[in-house]
Amino acid sequence: TMATLLSKQITNKVPVPSANGATGIIFLLGDYTLTGSEASGDELEMVVLPAGYVPIDIIVDTQDLGTTVTADVGIMSGTPGTTSTRTCGAEFMAAKALGTTGIYRMDVAGGGRVAPTTANRGIGFALTTINTPTAAAVVRMTVMARPQSESV
C-alpha cells in the first residue's frame, strides 16, 4: 500500500511563512532521513508552499538513497501535513535518478510559472521506483519562492 511520508520540518510542525505583506524571496527547507522501508508508490511531502507564493527554483541535495531510486518532484494533493493517501505531480522534476549522491534543480518547463493559490500546498517527491532503500540516507529539498499577487 502506498504511504504518505513527511519531512522532519512538517512532522515537527515548523511554522509556514505568511504571504501577508511579504515582498521578498523566502526559502523553505525539508529534510528526510530514509528508514529503509520506503517503497515504490510512496509520496514524500518535504515542504509547505504558503498560499499566494510561487516557486522560483527547487534544489534537491541527496545522498545515495538506494540501489534504484526514481522520483518526480511536484505539488501534492490534499491537506499539507496529513498522512492520508495523497498524490504528487511532476511540475518541477520528472524521473530523477536519486540512487547516487547529487544535486538536482528544477528543470521542467513551466515549473516557475505555476499559478498561486489561496491555500497552502505541499511540495514533495513521488517515489515512482525504489529498490533497496539506504537506511539513514538523507535528502534535503530547498524551495525558493516569492509572493505573487498579480493574476496569472
pLDDT in tens, 93-105: 999 999 999 999 9
pLDDT at 152: 46
Q: Using 50, 70 and 90 to split pLDDT, how confident is the model at 21?
A: low
Write the single-letter amino acid at 150.
E
pTM, whole model, 2 decimals?
Answer: 0.91
Which range, of 49-63, 64-78, 102-116, 138-152, averages the lowest pLDDT?
138-152
Q: Name the nearest CA neighbour of 140 among 88, 62, 72, 81.
A: 62
